[in-house]
Structure 1
Amino acid sequence: MKSSTDPVQNLAKLIACPSVTPVEGGALTALQAMLSPLGFSVERPVFSEDGTSDVENLYARRSGNGPHLMFAGHTDVVPVGDEAAWTYPPFSAAIHNGEMYGRGAVDMKGGIACFAAAVARYLDKNGELKGSISFLITGDEEGPSINGTGKLLEWAKAKGESWDAAIVGEPTNPDKLGDMIKIGRRGSLSGTIVVNGVQGHAAYPHLADNPVRGLVTLVDSLLYPVFDEGTKDFQASNLEITTIDVGNTAVNVLPAKATAIFNIRYNDTWTDETLMAEIHNRLDKASGRSKLRPGKKTPVNYELIWRHRPSHVFFTHDEKLIGTLTSSVEAVTGNRPQLSTSGGTSDARFIKDYCPVVEFGLVGKTMHMVDERVALADLETLTQIYERFIADFFA
């Protein structure tokens, strides 16, 4: 079997590259070496923005007459953590008991390795494509996602590129291959609440204004009542407080400031604008409550700072894309996949503005964990699914 048609060999080459965000680490070079012999033209633009690291990306295209299919993903990986806790070195691509170990094995170098193998096999059998395939691969998915897929899409569009459909190769299956295709995602919005008080002695609270009391009131207003009960296509919106901090280590001092950070995953009941307005309204109303601030008639002195840019909710309706992928999964695995919008965000949130997009990849049980690993049998199965999809999509 030629190396590019073998997903195991492809993945071993990618894992061997220590491409922890935002470092390229040789991973894009390894992918280019797989795609160039298959007739892909490859470009590797670098994007920059003040306050962030430069990020190298890859865009590869093999052109033909017919629809244009994009495969999207990322070669960057999260840090390995305690390397001594790994059974095998995290960039060794060691194989044991039918599994390959390594950071990025399932999230998501494995998906890239399989799609490259699927394209190679299809070309070996058919010679030509009845359309075009492009790889849109970033090195900034696990990081701030500023110099990655969003800018790569803008760059490609400015060059005249357009797409008819896209697959993101994220690990979507919870237990076994064929479980789940992601056809949408909830949005994500984060913010910081800062409550300013008056520092003082814990024994003389009337001379101070404890910001913790105000912060508790504000946080409570965001947790209850719930934002919604969910919709036909999405889980209920859910807000979580992820950090509370006062920067105070003294037991007898009331702090001058208290902060809380929150993240809400929201469904199509909301837009980012309507959700921001709802959160503002809740905090404004709560700031006037005095239950936890006896003797304080002034509102809680707070600031609300929105963090980063929101990730918008989206839902894909394209019947050809969803139907073809569903049939391909069922034909290879015997399982009819669930169509889901669960989970976190992915770079599909950028792609949905350019073409219909779905996500399908490996089983994600070990992603981001020590001893991240993938079954070699799953690599072969996913490659067969992707090859079947390519054939049916261009049929």
Structure 2
Amino acid sequence: MSEHLQQARMASVTELAQELILRPSRGGIDDYGPVLGVVEDWLTGRAVPHRRLNDDAGELVGLLVEIPGGQPGQWWALDACVDTAPYGDETAWSFPPDSGEVRQGWLLGRGSADSKLAAAMFCHIAAELLPRAADLHGGLAVLLDVDEHTGGFGGARAYLADEAAAQPAGVMIGYPGLDEVVVGGRGLWRAAVAVHAPSGHSGSSRTVVGAISRAAHLVRLLDAADLPGVDDGSGFPLPPKLSVTSFHSGQGFSVTPDLCELNVDIRTTPTFDAHDAETLIRKAVAELDAELPAPKPTEITPVASWPPFRLREDEQPAAALLTAAAEAGLVVQAKTSGPSNIGNLLAGEGIPATAGFGLPYEGLHGIDERAHLAELPHVYAVYQRAVLDLLRAG
């Protein structure tokens, strides 16, 4: 490709990303119609086949682009979210959160890093593949999820449940970061815990161990829980982790409450799975109820469970992405992520995924989010080459 054509394409990717940033799409806050409308208009203008995805309740949760190849083979998918994190304290930003401005080589605004620029890039790759689709094996899907930052991943769920869509052999998720290809992540097991106790007046002469005190004791038991370290035999590089992430109870001053509710988040690994996590919590709860009895036992309500995942560097689509990055002259390492991501959801369905390779960034989910555009041609070329290698292999 000539330098002029490459510059024009990168300018087009940036322009589409800017239009997306200008449409606020905070997860669970904004209407997703306007941001998806920008993508739909762009795809329609280039005759790229696409359709909306809705959840079981009929809510709009994503957009799916499908480019079928002319030869038999496996389908592969690119995935990027076009909903975003909230803005936080807007007065702390040095530019409007929905700026979309390019300043000193940085694309500014919420979603520039996570992940509207990736969405714009993937739409361009799909449009570029369309004229040569007859020579390709299988097909390419591009999923644009607008239910990602809520934690619901409604777009991904709707895609996987859609009987009209081909099941992908693998997915590449366009999270940012130039130095690493994320090939794995810890899983999670989450539960809500309800700790009970008799209620009473805070000034009563009768001593009552209230729900808050019982729950605080449970937190101490959980903090002291014996979690395993890294198991070198499994090849998984991170240990499990337990966090109490929410603690709610009471109102005012004069009543000791009869209920305290906790949220517990446990990050799991291949050698410490969801069953182990639940066993640990139930053991701590049993110890609490034995040491500090209450009229009603402590209740555990599991909320979510995702398996950990990790691809070998020679497994697809990790191999295609790592090879393409190396051939582009980039020094990129395979990484297993501490936080979970859509890759965990896909792993639960038996679908391998990478979950990050993109532009350098600052302010992700925080103040002054921005993405550095100088590396855009390299990142675009890596994804384009990886996709072509997969679709040519059949």
Matches of 2:252 and 2:135 in 1, distance apart? 65
Q: Structure 1's 386 and 5: CA in aligned 2 closer, same or farther, altered over 3 A? A: farther
Q: Percent identity?
A: 21
Matches of 1:28 and 1:142 in 2, distance apart? 16
Aligned counterpart in structure 2 of residue 114 of structure 1, from 118, 121, 136: 121
What's the counterpart of residue 61 of structure 1? 66
- Give RMSD over aligned pairs: 2.7
1:382 and 2:379 correspond = yes
Aligned residues: 375
Shift of 1:214: 1.9
Shift of 1:330: 1.9
Aligned counterpart in structure 2 of residue 346 of structure 1, from 322, 334, 341: 341
1:160-195: CA deviations, max 9, x gaps?
A: 512222101122x2xxx1x21111221122222222
1:217 and 2:214 correspond = no
Structure 1 segment 75-90 matched on structure 2, within 5 A: 75-90=82-97
What's the counterpart of residue 50 of structure 2? 42
Matched letter for residue 343 of structure 1: G
1:10 and 2:16 correspond = yes
Matches of 2:133 and 2:217 in 1, distance apart? 66
1:73-129: CA deviations, max 9, x gaps?
A: 2111122223333322222311111111011001111111222334445667x6755
CA contact (8 A) 1:239 1:263 kept: yes
Higher alpha-carbon deviation: 86-95 or 203-212: 203-212
CA contact (8 A) 1:187 1:310 kept: yes
Aligned counterpart in structure 1 of residue 264 of structure 2, from 262, 265, 278: 262
1:135-167: CA deviations, max 9, x gaps?
A: 122210011416331122111xx1251222210
What's the counterpart of residue 151 of structure 1? 158
CA contact (8 A) 2:67 2:133 kept: no
1:367 and 2:364 correspond = yes
CA contact (8 A) 2:10 2:377 kept: no
What's the counterpart of residue 166 of structure 1? 171
Matches of 1:304 and 1:73 in 2, distance apart? 38
Q: Structure 1's 213 and 85: CA in aligned 2 closer, same or farther, altered over 3 A? A: closer
Matches of 2:215 and 2:130 in 1, distance apart? 61
What's the counterpart of residue 285 of structure 1? 287
Matched letter for residue 288 of structure 2: A
What's the counterpart of residue 134 of structure 1? 141
Matches of 1:301 and 1:393 in 2, distance apart? 57
Matched letter for residue 52 of structure 2: R
Where 1:263 maps in the other structure, the secondary structure is strand
Shift of 1:39: 4.9
1:235 and 2:243 correspond = no
Matches of 2:363 and 2:102 in 1, distance apart? 15
**Stretches of structure 1 lacking an aligned partner (at least 5 in a row):** 291-297
Where 1:141 maps in the other structure, the secondary structure is coil
What's the counterpart of residue 356 of structure 1? 352
Shift of 1:36: 4.0
Matches of 2:297 and 2:174 in 1, distance apart? 42
**Stretches of structure 2 lacking an aligned partner (at least 5 in a row):** none
Q: Structure 1's 354 and 212: CA in aligned 2 closer, same or farther, altered over 3 A? A: closer
CA contact (8 A) 1:3 1:9 kept: no
Matches of 2:164 and 2:125 in 1, distance apart? 27
Matches of 2:295 and 2:104 in 1, distance apart? 59
Higher alpha-carbon deviation: 202-211 or 369-378: 202-211
What's the counterpart of residue 328 of structure 1? 324
CA contact (8 A) 1:7 1:379 kept: no
Q: Structure 1's 267 and 234: CA in aligned 2 closer, same or farther, altered over 3 A? A: farther
What's the counterpart of residue 20 of structure 1? 26
In the superposition, the TM-score normalised over structure 1's length comes to: 0.85
Matched letter for residue 336 of structure 2: T
Where 2:230 maps in the other structure, the secondary structure is coil
Matches of 2:378 and 2:9 in 1, distance apart? 17
Q: Structure 1's 342 and 3: CA in aligned 2 closer, same or farther, altered over 3 A? A: closer
Matches of 2:157 and 2:40 in 1, distance apart? 21
1:338-371: CA deviations, max 9, x gaps?
A: 2222232222223231532112233354211121
CA contact (8 A) 1:57 1:137 kept: yes
1:265-316: CA deviations, max 9, x gaps?
A: 11112332342133112211232125xxxxxxx3584433435322222223
Higher alpha-carbon deviation: 230-239 or 345-354: 345-354
Where 2:265 maps in the other structure, the secondary structure is strand
Where 2:225 maps in the other structure, the secondary structure is coil
Structure 1 segment 96-115 matched on structure 2, within 5 A: 96-115=103-122
In the superposition, the TM-score normalised over structure 2's length comes to: 0.85
